[in-house]
């Protein structure tokens, strides 16, 4: 509360009698009103519709110390300045604080975020808004469409504000940052408030002319849309530049890529040939070392797997796990007693934990791999024993050896689902195994169910 020069915004439970809230605040019978004591009078931060109550906004001298003491409430609130008329701070439930100014009836403008503008800069800007409004009917900043005097560039906002937040709240920030860094050079130097929907439409058109698929274009636009969503929420900009730009239409069914019987055979043969080649190379290297009296390397002849690739591919084909989930998989999540693999929610796309039964091949592969793997907690560790990061190079070489084209690592997940559906497994069971949050994602495989459509048309 504010009392005798001391500022504090208490959080009190809603409801209860006013006597129960004597020290921190008061509520009315409906629990909709919270009061704050200020120099002997009550000022209300949350408004109620009771006709008998006169509500006044919270006012005090805004200082740097005061700003630091403001904490988030369940609802946004304002603290008005007694030094500069019309100047106030808005505090959002997220904790973000913004300098704002009221320059007309129901007309407010955001000056900038606390931390971007200094208090003195914000007060000066507020005074300018009011002077312009008095002289011209509206602030020049509003007329010209600019926003504050210290609005960061897109590059500055991403590096200094957006990505630190994104890393704390989302997985896979490296991929998002890569997308942003490699597709929006044309606007990175520009101020946030100067970037328009037209600018982004032109960038999108360029991608389409370059041959990008609609799904790829939408994915790229989704990454920058997230940036502007946060910029709007945090009061850096008034409007989202992509608000009126619709996503491109995408075939939701599309072509599901899975392995033919012949491709599956060639893939396994390529895995075996790759291992045979690695064993032969190791023996040749050891012979060379022996001839020169050098210490020999560990033989690869008596171990099931020469490296990570074969077990990683076989586990993917038999569990349908996403690549990131496989990289994050740790041995405690592999239960050989119950024959299940638990994919932890903090590693999944949907944030939901799921349990995948191991079939005979998956069980055998992981059992053998565990016997020859080291002490890392990861099932497929990287070179330093930490999380595995990249399998692209080895995967592309394997596909070339197997003479398989247009087959991504993620397509092994489609192959897993397709084989289940073609074997007659119910779609809802497939959804559970894949970890789809929405059955619509799984319905892409419905056409693969044996005889479903043929049986349907026979009914008429």
Best-predicted range by mean pLDDT (257-261, 273-277, 420-424) = 273-277
Mean pLDDT of 339-345: 92
* Per-residue confidence (pLDDT) for residue 438, from 0 to 100: 81
The predicted-structure confidence for 81-135, as pLDDT tens digits, reads as follows 999 999 999 998 888 898 999 988 778 888 888 887 889 989 998 998 888 888 7
> In the beta sheet, which residues pair with residue 37?
42
Distance of CA 442 to the CA centre of its chain: 22
Q: Are strands 41-46 and 34-38 parallel, antiparallel or unpaired?
A: antiparallel
Higher pLDDT among residues 443 and 197, named by residue? 197
Higher pLDDT among residues 255 and 44, named by residue? 255
Are 36 and 80 in contact by the 8 Å Cβ rule? The answer is no
pTM (2 d.p.): 0.59
* Per-residue confidence (pLDDT) for residue 10, from 0 to 100: 40
* Per-residue confidence (pLDDT) for residue 172, from 0 to 100: 66
Mean pLDDT of 260-278: 97
- Buried b / exposed e along 4-20 (16+ C-beta atoms within 10 A): eeebebeebeeeeeeee
Q: CA–CA separation, 35 vs 26, rounded Å?
A: 5
Mean pLDDT of 53-67: 77
The predicted-structure confidence for 139-189, as pLDDT tens digits, reads as follows 666 655 544 445 788 998 999 889 998 888 877 677 888 899 999 999 998
Mean pLDDT of 23-36: 37
* Per-residue confidence (pLDDT) for residue 177, from 0 to 100: 87
Mean pLDDT of 386-401: 93
Mean pLDDT of 238-261: 84
Reported as a pLDDT band with limits 50, 70 and 90, residue 30 is very low
């Amino acid at each position: 509360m504010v009392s005798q020069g001391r500022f504090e915004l208490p959080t009190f439970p809603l409801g209860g009698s006013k006597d129960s809230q004597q020290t921190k605040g008061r509520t009315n019978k409906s629990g909709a009103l919270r009061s704050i004591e200020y120099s002997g009078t009550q000022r209300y931060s949350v408004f109620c519709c009771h006709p008998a109550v006169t509500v006044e906004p919270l006012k005090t001298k805004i200082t740097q110390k005061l700003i630091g003491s403001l904490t988030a409430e369940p609802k946004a609130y304002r603290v008005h300045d007694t030094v500069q008329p019309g100047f106030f701070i808005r505090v959002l439930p997220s904790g973000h604080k913004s300098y704002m100014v009221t320059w007309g009836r129901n007309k407010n403008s955001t000056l900038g975020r606390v931390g971007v503008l200094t208090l003195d800069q914000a007060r000066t800007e507020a005074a300018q808004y009011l002077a312009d409004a008095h002289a011209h009917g509206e602030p020049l900043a509003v007329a010209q469409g600019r926003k504050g005097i210290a609005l960061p560039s897109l590059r500055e906002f991403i590096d200094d504000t957006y990505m630190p937040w994104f890393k704390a709240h989302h997985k896979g920030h490296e991929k998002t940052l890569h997308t942003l860094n490699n597709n929006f050079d044309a606007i990175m130097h520009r101020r946030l408030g100067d970037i328009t929907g037209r600018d982004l439409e032109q960038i999108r058109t360029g991608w389409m002319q370059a041959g990008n698929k609609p799904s790829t274009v939408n994915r790229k636009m989704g990454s920058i849309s997230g940036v502007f969503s946060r910029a709007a929420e945090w009061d850096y900009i008034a409007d989202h530049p992509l608000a009126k730009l619709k996503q491109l239409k995408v075939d939701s069914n599309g072509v599901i890529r899975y392995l033919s019987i012949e491709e599956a055979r060639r893939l396994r043969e390529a895995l075996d040939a790759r291992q045979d080649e690695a064993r032969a190379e190791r023996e040749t290297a050891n012979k060379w070392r022996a001839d020169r009296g050098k210490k020999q390397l560990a033989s690869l002849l008596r171990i099931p797997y020469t490296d990570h690739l074969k077990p990683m591919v076989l586990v993917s084909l038999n569990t349908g796990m996403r690549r990131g989930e496989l990289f994050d998989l740790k041995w405690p999540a592999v239960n050989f007693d119950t024959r299940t693999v638990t994919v932890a929610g903090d590693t999944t796309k949907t944030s939901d934990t799921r349990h995948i039964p191991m079939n005979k091949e998956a069980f055998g592969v992981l059992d053998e791999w565990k016997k020859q793997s080291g002490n890392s907690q990861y099932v497929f560790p990287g070179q330093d024993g930490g999380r595995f990061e990249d399998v692209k190079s080895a995967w592309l070489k394997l596909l070339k050896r197997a003479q398989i084209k247009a087959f991504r690592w993620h397509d092994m997940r489609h192959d897993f689902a397709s084989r289940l559906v073609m074997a007659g497994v119910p779609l809802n069971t497939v959804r559970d195994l894949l970890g789809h949050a929405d059955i619509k994602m799984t319905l892409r495989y419905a056409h693969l169910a044996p005889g479903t459509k043929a049986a349907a048309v026979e009914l008429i």
